[in-house]
Structure 1
Amino acid sequence: MDSGLLFSFLAVDLLLVCVPGADWAYVIATALGGRPVPRAVAGLVCGYALHTVLATAGLAVLVAGSPKLLTALTVVGAGYLLWLGWGVLRRPAVPGAGDEVHDGPRLFLRGATISGLNPKGLLLYLSVLPQFLTLRGTRLPVPVQTATLGLLHMACCAAVYLTVGTLARALLSARPAAARAVTRTSGAAMVGIGAFLLVERLATI
């Protein structure tokens, strides 16, 4: 693949990943709850690994072309975000509280579910990634190019989310009131994004 094309994709992808959303909200809530951020981030990245596999195998196009399947995916993902966000609003994390510090597997599964069921992530692979594929003049098959760009996206997610979690914990660990406010904001973001996805998709039926 052309190195210039790779750098262009990296720049666009970093810009998109740096836009706060459900992933950011989950990482911040995890960090302020005193839970292991790397495990939560690993779960989020694993969810995008699923999208990468789907896109590489060409299944993403089939999902996007099936309104019923895409609607079902959206409803499940939005419902999960609503449930998770409501839980964060009810019990905002306080630094040093030590809630569920050892719930590593649950953190991983929650992260994988949030990113894996996010239809916006699937559409990202369908609308943005294909623009950086080289169909002619290269020996690399399209699936290999797709997998390469997908791995770059996963690396960007890991770097940005680990940074977000580390900064959230470092800057707010000694400020319980601010940490509680940020956590509530994160929970509200999850609820808002979940509700938006649900309304947006159901409106198209």
Structure 2
Amino acid sequence: MDFQQLAGFAAVSITLAMTPGADWAYCISSGLRARRVAPSVAGLCAGYLVHTALIVAGLAALIAASPGLLTGLTLAGAAYLLWLGISTMRSWRGAGFTDGSTTPVPAAGAEAEPAGAEGSGSSGSGSVALAVRAPVRSRRAVERREFLKGLGTSGTNPKALLLYLALIPQFVDPAAALALPLQSLVLGLSHFGVSVLVYTLVALGARRLLRSRPAAARAVTLASGILMVCVALVLLGERLLLLA
């Protein structure tokens, strides 16, 4: 593998990452609703690491050659995208922040804790510590959920796996000193890096442009959900046509 091959793969990888699809839809919706976009982007790109691992281990070819396994993956991916798309569409009314801020507003009915309510001594310190730790645990749970959603979006997408299977072998060199599995790993990691950059820019761009525009944010959120549902239906339709 030489620099020319890597440059060619990088160009194709950038083109693929910049093509709007389910990944873009998830990035945009995440940029509008999440405090941090890193967990969502990390989850999406981790899905491509899964595909890379399958290629390196030689399992991707087995999945592609097995109609039953490929159908199962397609059904799982389509069902997940349907669920995620419908969930996004249902949340469109709350998309965006009317004041352009990213600071959450306390829930209705919540009142500030009066001064001195923490008491004194060790019991008061314990109450304060618990009050501090609870939001941290809640934030971590949300970020973990965002990561898993991203992982499910890309990791269960059979088109991404088949694309890897068709694309990567075109850029490996059997005569190179580096073993073929390691060449595949290098290419997969290259696409991972490109995806991290592009998806982060998409998510942050959506946040910057739409957070202070509630009407536009709601419209884009609704469109993102519709796009996910359409991708899911296309996956199902293509698979049903192949099985017919």
TM-score normalised by the chain length of structure 2: 0.81
Among the aligned pairs, what percent are the same residue? 48
- 1:31 aligned to 2:31? yes
Could you give the per-residue CA deviations for residues 32-81 of structure 1, whole angstroms, max 9, x where no partner exists? 11332110000011111110000001110000000110000000100110
What secondary structure sits across from 1:203 in the alignment?
helix
Could you give the per-residue CA deviations for residues 111-157 of structure 1, whole angstroms, max 9, x where no partner exists? 00111000011011111111001011x11000000000000011011
- 1:179 aligned to 2:179? no
- The residue number in structure 2 matching 1:53 is 53
- Segments of structure 2 that go 5 or more residues without pairing to the other structure are 106-137
TM-score normalised by the chain length of structure 1: 0.96
What secondary structure sits across from 2:221 in the alignment?
helix
Distance 2:191 2:57 in 1: 17
- The residue number in structure 2 matching 1:168 is 206
- The residue number in structure 1 matching 2:7 is 7
- The count of residues paired between Structure 1 and Structure 2 equals 204
Distance 1:195 1:6 in 2: 34
Q: 2:172 aligns with which of 117, 128, 133?
A: 133
Q: Per chain length, whose mean CA-contact separation is higher, i.e. which structure has more relative contact order (CA < 8 Å, sep 6+)?
A: 2
- Segments of structure 1 that go 5 or more residues without pairing to the other structure are none
Distance 1:177 1:69 in 2: 43
**Whose radius of gyration is greater, 1 or 2?**
2
- 1:115 aligned to 2:115? no
AA of the residue aligned to 2:76: V
Distance 1:35 1:79 in 2: 27
- The residue number in structure 1 matching 2:242 is 204
Question: Runs in 1 of length 4+ with deviation above 6 angstroms?
Answer: none
Distance 2:39 2:169 in 1: 30
What's the CA shift for 1:166? 0.7
Distance 1:7 1:78 in 2: 33
What's the CA shift for 1:194? 0.5
What's the CA shift for 1:95? 2.0
Distance 2:34 2:161 in 1: 30
